Structure 1
Amino acid sequence: MQSALLFELSFLLVPMAIGIGLWLSGVSPAWVWPLALLPYLARNFYHMLRLAILIRRHHRLIPPFPRGVWGDLYRSIARYQQRGRKSRKRQIRFSRRFREAANAVPDALVILDKQLRVDWANPAAARLMNIHWPEDDERPFTELLTNQDLEHFIEAGDYMRPLDIAPAHNRAIMLSLRITPFGERKKQRLVVGRDITKIYHLNMIRRDFVANASHELRTPLTVIAGFLEPLIDAPITPDSHRRPLSLMFHQTERMRSIIEDLLTLSRLEMQDSPEAQAPVDVPDELHLILQEAQALSNGQHQFETRIEDDLLLVGHRPELRSAFSNLIFNAVRHTPPGSRIAIGWRHDVEGALFTVEDNGPGIAQEHLPRLTERFYRVDCARSRDSGGTGLGLAIVKHVLNRHDARLLVSSEVGKGSRFSCRFPSGRDMRIDRSDGGGKTS
């Protein structure tokens, strides 16, 4: 930069020296200085005009460059052009790799704009969703993939769980749709459609098998239990037979409990939402469940309650009672005598919240993601001794899903566990106990 300034200064001083010489020789000053500065001004005008033309025509600036400040300017613009070319090449290469990867994905990928119109789709979308790009560019997504549940799913805007649908163009397949907002202000949508036909059919076979097997087993177990119970206390039964009969009756009752839970799960899986929903007096249900929990505890646990007595919930009463009782009874079964069990039912800014908290032994972090799996037990021996079936939390999860709610679990070994049922805003109601009237909160 210093050499360029020296060159410009020398290029300017030479005409000035010539002008001074002409002025001293008697030439009029009105002609001396314009003539003296004309080469310098002409040079600057030439380089400025040439640079403007090259930039306007998007020409690449290549050496040799002029000397002086103009040379530095040319070189700076040339470096900027080179960086721009490298950046464009990287973008083109990345875009090409992205499209190749997206086209190779077996799942359907569709990008929607702010108006929920198709902005881009990969080839798999043509097979799974009947969306062909670019033929269907800027067409409304719900017109191409027609489904009433899909329209409600998009309008609700709750994309925490996927939506399983059978597309109208091919009822033989089952799609699992996930929608993820992205872009500026999360106005655009990325739709991922996965073919879960095989998994869906396997789940149907499993569900039907479990339901049918449970129905077939329930009757003989009821008969066996019906014969065992009177034999245990019968006077003619020898004392040496009473203990085996009691063990048989206990195991029969345990099997009946497992079958009842399996049948409950089968009923919950038949439909995504309860058929009839009405305001449920949750505080009253919790007080009844608490009495049963105290009887189960036999005075060995300390119960604390923080229940808002005027807070109701719109839902299916038997299902909600099943979910709440499972969480409370689990706390009784899986905490040692003397433990504290706190039960809460309240409303906050996000909606209604039910909590069961204890100061028991807690659950290790590696077990938390699998707690709602069927028959999963943290401690198999302790669960069997306490009478657990391993299906309680699976039932809780299904009930909450059918009520648009979430199960949140937090625990720390040695400090206890906390199970929370988070219900969405709009399902809770306030009731005035004084006159029996109610109002939606």
Structure 2
Amino acid sequence: MLSLKTRLITIFLIVFLISWLVGEIFGLLEGLLAATICLSLLLIHQLWHASRLSRLLLSPNYGEVPSALGIWGEIYYRLHKLVRSWRDQVLEIEQQHSRFIQAVQATPNGVVMLNEDDQIEWCNGIAEQHFGINAKRDAMQRVTHILRKPAFVQYIIRQNYREPVRLNNMGTFEQFSLDVQIFPYGDKQKLLLSQDVSQIEKTDSMRRDFVANVSHELKTPLTVLSGFLETVQELELNEEDRKKYLDLMSVQTGRMKTLVEDLLTLAKLEGNPEPPVTQVVPMGVMLSRLQSDAQGLSQGRHQIVVENNSQKNVLGDDLELYSAFGNLVSNAVRYTPDGGNITIRWSDSGDEAIFSVIDTGTGIAQEHIPRLTERFYRVDRSRSRDTGGTGLGMAIVKHVISRHHGELKIESTLGVGSEFSLSFPQQRIAL
């Protein structure tokens, strides 16, 4: 491809040659006139393409390459190639920017970009939820005009951003807690990050309550044991009184042992994310074991009926299921007055199978039912301790049935009785 200098020299040589030929044939004056006409036409051609180029630059239309001969064709082609290169670079930058925005929007943390005056330049959707910000409405507003928590305002004023600040009771409809931290960057700009720590706070609260409850549950039998030991050591007792005290001490020891066993069972269930083994658990044998346990606990004080209305068995862990079923049966025996009826039932319900324990006990008020599976939750604390309950049985039942992909249902009426049902889905059923 010829260079611009070569093209210009060629054009002038052609004009000179035409003028010289005309001068030789028609005379010098005609030659000069021919040269003037050629140069004028050349000038008009250049001015027309210059005007065309100006219009093209003022209102570019990507993809359209004007047609032209000679040097202007090459100019248009190179200009189009340059514009296409710039356009590809712009598209690539836009795609990178779009991916970056999508990544920031996908993060579970709130992100707010602040300028040197602490004005909001941009924020993601999570930040809008955390702080009640509208990215368009609140653009260039000072963040402290929107987030007016005193702890946050002081955090901004002190400019000590090494540690996050905890903000509680955030949100309009749903209350949550946030850890907020600022990271300076660039030219006096700041990046404000927020993290929802509501679940962490809830877990910490549950841990504190759990430790307090365990301490409280162990304190009573330990106090009783300590008192009885002092009595036995310091007083001279006859054989009858000594036996009485030792029996009471044995009861308290058994209570602590049961509590520790339930705690270990619950810890094992909560700490094992893997689903239970899929061995076949024969429900006929299971119902016989539960009936013997119920009769042993009842000592003839209740009418106990076992109904096996299904040929299905359960795929799962025998020990876990026995623990869950046993807790429901023992609860029914403990909370059903003497002379009451207890029914242990295994039945079909479509593709599912249901284990139920039905009693004619005192019943449970509706406000207590949603909380029955909480650890150490008791409807009647004094009565639960008198009957030997640890407050962990229903929590164990909940974890076992969840691990077996089933569902716990509770129906109860005060003064009438209760029905606790564990339903097993089709994938947990074996014939």
Task: Tell me the TM-score normalized by structure 2.
Answer: 0.48
Larger radius of gyration: 2
Task: Tell me the TM-score normalized by structure 1.
Answer: 0.47
